[in-house]
Each structure stands twice: as structure tokens, then as C-alpha cells.
């Protein structure tokens, strides 16, 4: 583990998105099926260019989303390193159940089978989140949509700091915080007060996709604290 100074959390700029996307790719590798299908070929130059473009459009068009970076200083203390990345969104309306309403599906998933698989995953993926938003009575919820920490800089507090940025915002506004978390990140989320509401989210993708890896995700929520 590299020797580093303290971790800082600050807004991510448009220009830094390609670096953040590389952190995301390295963080998940090929251990997270949802990331693999949602960001096709994310560990290749073309996949990273496309993923960075999609994140940039998202950042520039969503006033409700906050893009954050976790940084630290290198061994010499003179270079700022982006070691983590997160997106928190204040959602007051349920996301579209149809993927085509949020993504250019033909461009991102040119293969028809990949496109259909991702479309079916998406329609199930948004169900718990949508219910939480509906149950909020119009107040909305804070959703941790993305969280990634570079594998060489894990266990330094970057993940916790990125999570707690959002839970603090949720507390200030009296709102619930939610995340669709991977099992490997469960302990981190529990440390920040999130608890499993759905132990394993369901993905009914049909018999024709039975051989494909389905996401293993836990839907976790946190009630606001005073």
C-alpha cells in the first residue's frame, strides 16, 4: 500500500472524468456483472472513452447529481492523486423503467442481445429505488449511484468519506439514503449506517439469458439522523 497523506473530498471536474472512469474500471475489474454490462468494455481505450463521454453528459445535464472525487497526495506531497469517485443524486422522481429513455441504447449496446439483456436488467434494477422514492411522499431520497476506490488505495478511508458525504446531506434534509450495493462493499455501507432492505435484488431476465452472469446486489437504506 502506498504511503499517502490524508484523503480529501471535493467536486469532480469535467476534465477529471476520464481519470475517475479509470478508477471505476480498476475498482470493479470484472467482479461486478452490472458494471460489466452497463459500461461495456470498460477496461479498453474505446470503452473508457465511451464511458467517460456518458458520465460527462450525465454530469452536465443533471443538476440533482453531485460528482465527487477522493484525493490524496503522493509520496512527495506535490501531486494530487484521484483515488476514489462517487455520484450522489437527490431523486424526487422515479427513474424511467425503460432504459432507452435514459441512454442511447443502440450506440452503447450495438449488439442486440447485449442491449436486450441490459434493458431487462435495468427494468428490475430501478424497482427498489423507485419504491423508496414513492414512499418518501414527494420529499425524495439520496441515491449513491456510483462508488469506486482504486484498489491500490483502499482501506485509507476514501470510500467511507465518499459515502458519508451523502449521508450527511441526507441527514441535513431529513431524507433517506439508498444504494444498490455489491456484497464486497456491504461492510463499508453498514459502517456508514446503511442496512440491507433487500438481501438480494431479483433480476428476471428470461430463459434465453440464463447462461449470463446476473448482478448480485443488496438494496440498502439508511434513515435520516438528527
Tens of pLDDT, residues 147-185:
999 999 988 899 999 999 999 999 999 999 999 999 999
- Which of 185, 172, 98, 186 is CA-nearest to residue 142? 172
pLDDT at position 31 is 94
> Cβ contacts of residue 167 below 8 Å, gap of 6+?
142, 177, 192, 193, 194, 222
Give dist(CA 205, CA 187) in Å, integer. Answer: 28
Whether this model's pTM surpasses 0.85: yes
Give per-10-residue mean pLDDT for the chain (226 aa).
74 98 97 96 98 98 97 78 97 97 97 98 98 97 98 93 98 98 97 98 96 97 94
- Domains of the chain with bracketed CATH: 8-222 (3.40.630.30)
pLDDT at position 1 is 46
Give dist(CA 162, CA 87) in Å, integer. Answer: 9
pLDDT at position 169 is 98
User: How far from chain centre, in Å, is Cα 68?
Assistant: 11
Give dist(CA 175, CA 199) in Å, integer. Answer: 22
Note the helical H segments in the chain. Answer: 17-28, 33-38, 45-61, 105-108, 112-135, 158-173, 186-191
Amino acid at each position: 500500500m502506498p504511503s499517502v497523506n490524508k484523503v480529501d473530498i471535493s467536486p469532480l471536474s469535467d476534465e477529471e472524468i476520464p481519470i475517475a472512469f479509470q478508477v471505476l474500471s480498476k475498482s470493479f475489474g470484472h467482479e461486478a456483472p452490472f458494471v460489466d454490462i452497463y459500461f461495456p468494455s470498460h477496461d479498453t481505450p474505446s470503452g473508457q472513452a465511451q464511458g467517460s463521454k456518458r458520465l460527462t453528459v450525465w454530469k452536465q445535464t443533471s443538476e440533482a447529481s453531485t460528482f465527487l472525487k477522493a484525493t490524496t497526495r503522493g509520496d512527495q506531497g506535490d501531486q494530487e492523486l484521484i483515488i476514489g469517485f462517487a455520484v450522489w443524486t437527490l431523486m424526487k422522481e422515479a427513474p424511467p423503467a425503460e432504459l432507452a429513455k435514459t441512454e442511447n441504447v443502440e450506440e452503447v449496446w450495438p449488439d442486440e442481445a447485449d442491449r436486450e439483456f441490459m434493458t431487462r436488467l435495468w427494468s428490475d434494477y430501478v424497482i427498489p429505488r423507485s419504491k423508496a422514492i414513492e414512499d418518501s411522499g414527494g420529499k425524495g431520497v439520496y441515491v449513491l449511484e456510483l462508488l469506486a476506490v482504486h484498489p491500490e488505495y483502499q482501506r485509507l478511508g476514501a470510500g467511507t468519506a465518499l459515502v458519508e458525504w451523502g449521508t450527511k446531506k441526507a441527514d441535513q434534509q431529513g431524507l433517506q439514503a439508498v444504494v444498490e450495493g455489491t456484497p464486497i462493499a456491504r461492510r463499508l455501507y453498514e459502517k456508514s449506517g446503511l442496512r440491507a432492505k433487500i438481501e438480494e435484488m431479483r433480476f428476471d431476465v428470461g430463459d434465453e439469458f440464463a447462461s449470463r452472469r446476473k448482478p448480485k446486489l443488496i438494496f440498502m437504506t439508511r434513515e435520516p439522523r438528527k
